[in-house]
Every structure is written in C-alpha cells, then in structure tokens.
Amino acid sequence: MMHQIKIATQKPYDVCLEEAILDKAGPLLLKQFAPCKLAVIADEAPWRHYGDRLLSSLTKAGFSVMHYIFQSNEAVKSFQTVEEILQLLAENELTRSDILLSFGGGITGDITGFCAATYLRGISYAHMPTTLLAMIDAAIGGKTAVNLKAGKNLAGAFWQPALVLCDPTLLATLPETVLADGLAEAVKYGILSDAALFDASGKGTMDLTDMIARCIQIKGNILALDERDQGARRLLNLGHTIAHAVEMCSAHTLSHGAAVSIGLVASAKLAYTLGVSATDLSGSIADTLTSHNLPVDLPYTVESLLPYILKDKKRTGNFIHLILPEAIGRCRIEPLPIEQLRAVLTDALLPGGCNGC
C-alpha cells in the first residue's frame, strides 16, 4: 500500500512512500510533468546499486534522461559542484519546463535543490532520497544549501520540491552506521511530538515504513505552521545546536546522526536544569539511542563547544533559541540570553556543575 503524505507548504506537494516505488518513478513523475528532459543528480553509491532500475523506469515513461554522478561528502557540497551541474544543464539546453531529480542522501538533495532554485532563476525538481535521514528529514521542507569555507550550509534557498518518492527497500544496502544516523532523527521526532513513536523506536516494535511515514507526517505538520524557519520549524532543531558544535569539534569525524544523538541527551539535561522538564528525561532518551548503538556522552568540554554554539544559524541577536523537551512528545523553544549560556551549559552538562563560574 502506498502512503501519500501531503506537505501543505505554500506550494503543496506529495511524499509517496512505498516499497519498490523505485520502479514506478517514471509513471509517478509523468502524473505531474509531460515527457521532458530530466537530469538525475545522484550519489555514486546508491547509483551503483539502483541506477539501472531508475533509468529504465524514467526512460520507459518517455523522459529524456541525463545524469551527473558524484561521491557525495561535505567537501563537494560546494559552488564548484553546483557550477559543474549548472553547466551540464545549460549545455543540454534544459528549459524551465524540464526537471531535476536527486537520488541520494541529504547532501545530494541539498545540492540538487540549490541547482533547481538557481538554474534559470528556478526550475522544478523531485527528490528520491536513499538514506533514512534524507527520507524523514532532508528531502522534506525545501531547504537547499551548499557549504562555504566559513561554515556548513551558509548559502542556500528555500525551494520546495514538486514530489518526493521514498522507497524503504533502498535502505537495505545502507551501512548500519548510516542507518543509525536516520534513527537518531526518528527518535528526535518521537521526543518532539509522539511518545508512542519514541517508545516504539527504542523497542524496535514499529514497521520501518510506518515509522518513516509517521516521521514525515510530523515534519509536514510543522511545515504547515512555519515553512521558513521563523517559528515552529525551529522545533526541528531539537538536539542540533549542540550536535553542530560536536560535529565541528570532531572535524566531522563524528557523523551527523551520532552528534544529534549526543545533542538530544544534552538537550534533556538542559531542560531539567532550567526547570523546563519536571523530571530528568536524559536517562530514557540515552537508553533509546544506545539501543541503536548511537553515542550519548558529550566528548568535548563546554569551552570547546561554546564558540561553535555561538555561531549557530538560529541565534538571533543576544539570544540563542534552545529547543527543550518538557516531556517525551512535547517540546518548547526557550530563548536564552547569550551571557547565561556558559553557566547553564556547565551546570547541565558537567558533573558538579558550574559552582559559581
């Protein structure tokens, strides 16, 4: 059975989720687009496993397909890669009635979306995410970006896809650590707004396709309230302020999911210290995450994390917006004056606390 989840952004679109939907990619795109030129921007690893099937479905449906294959990593999420793709589109004379399709994880999707947002001042694109993290987060919501030397995702645009196709069977070839990265985000959704999802993600009692559908629905509900990150969408940043700092301290040797896992536990400790949660939720969150072999202990000092936390994109003026759990399934945005940050982090995250620092 196909799950069809409507994302009610200003320009609404569907996420279609079904096992082996890969083989229906062509006919499903044909429901929205006349046969046209279609550029697939694909990560080399899923392309190696599934590229033939994707190509066959697209060409049988009548699309004239070209592809750009690359090994996705943070270093190639750059203007140089974007330029190469835009050149390919221009050399093949794609027009505004042609489309792009991303086939890969979050990096592939972000680059493809950025190219779609900028080529000819904006053309349509679709996502076919191949990692759990991209299925439940990166492919939904139209955040596109490339990195600058100064930091991750510092250049980008909001540009919603026309369609997202999720095929859970593609996850079979993912390394376990990459799958765990996605599970950290699924746990995040549970803490944000679904205690049953949180419980099931710890016990492994939920069917993977149903879990993906539930996470997408939660993100969709938030996007319907706030598409452009001015309010409720900031809730999706749960665990991420600390996570980004941890990733930077580790020089990206720790994966995003591992850093999010550490960040989720830290946010529960912060919530308890600030009186946002009546009980300390960090133990049960840590147990759930460790059941997926994710790390939970902060490997860096507050002093080494602080400079990165202060550079967080979600900082506004003299306030940092912490996302904190009140209970499992309910979170809130808590603005904290920057000058209190060091003491609060120290009290919450270091055994023994700040002691008047």
**Which residues would be at the binding site for ligand GLY (CB under 6 A)?**
137, 141, 143, 233, 236
Measured from the CB atom, is 189 or 272 closer to ligand GLY? 189
Q: How far is the CB of 222 from ligand GLY (least distance, A)?
A: 8
Distances (CA, A) of 98 to 22, 126, 278, 336: 20, 11, 54, 46
Q: How far is the CB of 137 from ligand GLY (least distance, A)?
A: 5
Q: How far is the CB of 106 from ligand GLY (least distance, A)?
A: 9
Alpha helical stretches, state H, 35-78: 44-60
Measured from the CB atom, is 57 or 201 closer to ligand GLY? 201
Tell me how crowded residue 41 is: count the other CB atoms within 10 A of its CB: 26
Q: How far is the CB of 233 from ligand GLY (least distance, A)?
A: 5
Element at 126 (helix H, strand E): strand 124-129
CB 244 within 8 A of CB 259: yes
**Using CA atoms, how far apart are residues 121 and 115, in angstroms rounded to an integer?**
9
Q: How far is the CB of 239 from ligand GLY (least distance, A)?
A: 11
For the residues of 233-246, what is the DSSP string, one character each?
A: GGGGGTTHHHHHHH
Measured from the CB atom, is 243 or 286 closer to ligand GLY? 243
For the residues of 267-310, what is the DSSP string, one character each?
A: HHHHHHHTTSSSS--HHHHHHHHHTTT---S--S-HHHHHHHHH
Reading the block at residue 329, the tokens are: 């399934």
Strand partners, 14: 6, 163
Q: How far is the CB of 237 from ligand GLY (least distance, A)?
A: 7
Measured from the CB atom, is 55 or 133 closer to ligand GLY? 133
Contacts of 85 (CB under 8 A, 6+ apart): 39, 41, 68, 111, 112, 115
CB 333 within 8 A of CB 226: no
Work out whether strand 37-43 and strand 99-104 pair parallel, antiparallel, or are unpaired. parallel
Please give the radius of gyration of the chain, using alpha carbons only, rounded to the nearest integer.
20
**Using CA atoms, how far apart are residues 277 and 139, in angstroms rounded to an integer?**
31
Measured from the CB atom, is 216 or 345 closer to ligand GLY? 216
Measured from the CB atom, is 14 or 137 closer to ligand GLY? 137
Q: How far is the CB of 314 from ligand GLY (least distance, A)?
A: 10
Measured from the CB atom, is 143 or 292 closer to ligand GLY? 143
Measured from the CB atom, is 28 or 192 closer to ligand GLY? 192
Q: How far is the CB of 95 from ligand GLY (least distance, A)?
A: 29
